[in-house]
Structure 1
């Protein structure tokens, strides 16, 4: 089966993510996304109404395992190409694509729109991989850490004080590399304190002012020691972890929205020792796609997605809880 589509085009940047957006109806969600883009001068004044008009004529609701909609406008309304995504606080009915009047209860919604640079204050975030959220780690030690990449803004959770003084903040935005070759997928290998092996995709948090292609190339250099070529987006998944204890240390709540891209190793490159591997990382491994169930893959929803027929894979995997 073909799992590594390639195209000479640069990937469309995922540059705006809103989590648990409150939307009254199918017009409200695109309008809120469009408002952010208009505020940044990334779309024309006519853009906020254009997706709604197009949606009335050509519904975009998709009855995938996790129902999704992809409202969009014609190119003349877009000044800076990009992709805006939102997950909705509760399902909203969108017209079903090509169904002649049917409806789809949507929670993830995408917008083919324009680039937006988030301007909320940045705070260090936790390491990636199965050890995400643990105290310490090489990224905190080197003094810069991974930083939040999703703006607060309308509909997103802003920085505030929650019950018991916990700091609530916007989701972190991450990029992940899906490198498939000869029926195998490349994974980072982690060793738990009990000796158990856990596997996860290479990648990590996007830094402020860094585009997603640059973030992916940097992360792969750090974690797999190889240069990669970044192709088109493959899927989206959220990681949410509640506060808990690991090895006697508290882990704060963690929320990251990940966009996984199909990638390939650059010519002459092979995975090896990264320049700055993740905490607990013990190299990399090629895992057979038809034997992923024999391994502990983080998150497990990703393993199940990879085992599906490529033609039936949804774009959004939804929320994966740690």
Structure 2
């Protein structure tokens, strides 16, 4: 079985009780909200990745102010030829503050919209699990940089 490792960096940007999210097409159709961020390019530092990705997806310039933690996921998925791939995702979650830029939508990218959402309304959105994990890291600030899930 082919193995695939993807390292990515994401931002938790909270301002005035609102969380910045980007909207991405869902694999099952429709859309889901995601943390702004994405995959590292070869040779790129994760700090630089999150700065670049947030600007690409939202138009904002950010300063990462702290590494909140790391989320790791592993699953077997089919590749485009129907063969199985052992996919391991490592996602670094930073807290970041907006330092400039203006909210705009990404064109010709992995997201099509960016918006601020009240923190108390995030639970009502169709979203990827990393949004909840990132918010837990932001709220709890665990010393080990990871949220313990049931069974681990």
Band of TM-score, shorter chain: 0.7 to 0.9
Work out the CA distance in 1 between the residues paired with 2:137 and 2:6: 28
User: Is the Cα contact below 8 Å between 1:289 and 1:306 reproduced in 2?
Assistant: no
In structure 2, which of residues 90, 97, 103 is the aligned counterpart of residue 264 of structure 1?
A: 97
| Alignment deviations for residues 122-174 of structure 1 (CA, whole Å, 9 cap, x no partner) | xxxxxxxxxxxxxxxxxxxxxxxxxxxxxxxxxxxxxxxxxxxx2225x3221
Cα RMSD over matched residues?
2.9
Work out the CA distance in 2 between the residues paired with 1:174 and 1:258: 5
Question: How many residues are paired up?
Answer: 146
1:224-263 map, 5 Å: 224-244=58-78, 250=82, 252-263=85-96
Work out the CA distance in 2 between the residues paired with 1:216 and 1:305: 14
User: Is the Cα contact below 8 Å between 1:236 and 1:318 reproduced in 2?
Assistant: no
2:7 maps to 173
C-alpha deviation, 1:199, in angstroms: 0.8
1:277 maps to 109
Structure 2 residue runs without a partner (length 5+): none
C-alpha deviation, 1:239, in angstroms: 2.9
1:306 maps to 135
Q: Normalising to structure 2: TM-score of the pair?
A: 0.77
Structure with the higher fraction of residues in strand conformation: 2
1:297 maps to 127
C-alpha deviation, 1:235, in angstroms: 2.2
- The 4+ residue runs of structure 1 with deviation greater than 6 A are none
C-alpha deviation, 1:230, in angstroms: 1.7
Q: Which has the larger radius of gyration?
A: 1
C-alpha deviation, 1:198, in angstroms: 0.6
- SS of residue paired to 2:109: coil
| Alignment deviations for residues 263-320 of structure 1 (CA, whole Å, 9 cap, x no partner) | 12223x2221236521xx22112222112221122116x426626883x34321368x
